[in-house]
Amino acid sequence: MCFEINICTTFNYNYIEMNQQVFEQLRNEGLIADASFANIKTNQEHSLLSVHWEIKTLLYLGVLLLSGGLGILVYKNIDTIGHQVILLFIALICGGCYFYCVKNKKAFSIKRVTAPNTLFDYILLLACCTFIIFIGYLQFQYQLFGNRYGLASFFPMVVLFFSAYYFDHLGVLSMAIVNLAGWLGITVTPVSVLTANDFNNSRIIFTGLALGVLLIAMAWATRKRKIKQHFELSYANFGTHILLISCLAAMFHFDSVYLLWFVLLAVLIFYFYNKAMADKSFYFILVTTLYAYIGFTYVVFDLLDKIGAYNLSILYIGFLYFILSGIGLILFLMSTNKKIKAV
């Protein structure tokens, strides 16, 4: 007796994994009609294509273009529109976006809270961008905070951190961390940073070290206290880069005692590498490995320079070092990646 399976063409095949050979075998055995098999084959050949990330990218670009267009509009029409009208326009956009977010947000929780709809994250991002523009415009045109540049960046930073936690938004958290770095930089060197762009400054280096330690501590506390645990990656990412870059900058700046900073760099690399292996994060392994390679290369070439800066053989040794170390670096990363996947 033959049992025929009638497959409805409206059945959602996105939730099952179809194997064409299996269906062909079922058709050959007479369990599936030719018409039903044709429907299955057509569905496989014309399966739905996900455009999730494409749409998200377009939405992010839309927010950036809108913010940038707002700045261009202000710049080109400042004399005809008037400062008060421009400020009012920016404030209305910012206030309207925040009003929408407050009205439509889900209940606050220390755990992850998903967005109520697709547009929510982007409207919140637009609200934060326009808020920064609004504060910056007030400071530039009317000197709202006077010469207290640190306060001019501190106030937006507080609002951004509050928005990130209150609305649970990783993008806004990244903006808040960047604002925190800017605030600390302006606080320690308010004149040189804003006027002379003096980043080759020991105070900036020590500030970066302190900020890196603070962000790593925030990442640890976020996981330990289980408060927005998904924020840990953002804190750890910024903290790792800032801390290791500051160590490298200290090696280059304090060249007379650079070996002491290299030891500190090695200790930090050891810590981050072990943590990355424990978390099975190839990204952080790649990051720490590259920073370690830069620091080690600086030491090697400093030693070569002291041996004989104008010796042609030293130059050949340097080229050979880059070739062999590059190969070794690639092999090390490939081996480490296999270890992570094997665990």
Q: Is residue 58 part of a domain?
A: yes
- 181 and 42 co-located in one domain: no
- 82 and 26 co-located in one domain: no
Q: Is residue 144 part of a domain?
A: yes
- 29 and 67 co-located in one domain: no
> Cα separations (Å) of 21 from 9, 10, 88, 103, 184?
19, 22, 65, 52, 63
Long-range pairs for 125-128: beta carbons < 8 A, 24 or more residues apart = 125/60, 125/63, 125/169, 125/171, 125/172, 126/63, 126/66, 126/67, 126/93, 126/97, 127/93, 127/94, 127/97, 127/98, 127/101, 127/163, 128/159, 128/160, 128/163, 128/172, 128/175
- 76 and 162 co-located in one domain: yes
Q: Is residue 64 part of a domain?
A: yes
Percent of the chain with pLDDT over 70: 75
Q: Is residue 160 part of a domain?
A: yes
pLDDT in tens, 143-166: 888 777 778 888 999 999 999 999
Q: Is residue 60 part of a domain?
A: yes
Among 198, 222, 241, residue at a domain's last position: 198
Range of 11-25, 36-50, 188-202, 248-262 with top mean pLDDT: 248-262
- pLDDT(15) > 80: no
pLDDT in tens, 276-324: 999 999 999 999 999 999 999 999 988 888 776 556 777 788 889 999 9
Q: Assign 82 a pLDDT band (cuts: 50, 70, 90).
A: confident
The total number of structural domains in the chain stands at: 2
pLDDT score for 119: 85
Q: Assign 58 a pLDDT band (cuts: 50, 70, 90).
A: confident
- 32 and 66 co-located in one domain: no
pLDDT score for 262: 95
- pLDDT(45) > 80: no
Among 198, 227, 250, residue at a domain's last position: 198
- 43 and 130 co-located in one domain: no
- 66 and 120 co-located in one domain: yes
Whether the CB-CB separation of 104 and 117 falls below 8 Å is answered with: yes
Tell me the average pLDDT across 106-112.
92
Q: Is residue 325 part of a domain?
A: no
Looking at per-residue pLDDT, the higher value among 140 and 67 belongs to: 140
- 42 and 167 co-located in one domain: no
- 66 and 181 co-located in one domain: yes
pLDDT score for 325: 93
Tell me the average pLDDT across 40-46.
64
Residue 221 neighbours by CB under 8 Å, 6+ apart: 227
- 178 and 137 co-located in one domain: yes
Looking at per-residue pLDDT, the higher value among 190 and 287 belongs to: 287
- 142 and 68 co-located in one domain: yes
Structure-token match 């290299």, residue found:
262
**Structural domain range at position 193:** 50-198
Among 174, 198, 222, residue at a domain's last position: 198
Q: Is residue 312 part of a domain?
A: no
- pLDDT(194) > 80: no
Angle between helix 20-28 and 34-45 (nearest 10): 170
Tell me the average pLDDT across 88-103.
92
Q: Assign 20 a pLDDT band (cuts: 50, 70, 90).
A: low
- pLDDT(219) > 60: yes
Whole-number average pLDDT of the chain: 81
Q: Is residue 232 part of a domain?
A: no
What does the block give as tokens for 336?
């480490």
Structure-token match 């404030």, residue found:
91
pLDDT score for 79: 65
Q: Give the chain's end-to-end CA distance (angstroms, integer).
A: 50
- 56 and 117 co-located in one domain: yes
DSSP 8-state code for residue 5: B
Whether the CB-CB separation of 126 and 143 falls below 8 Å is answered with: no
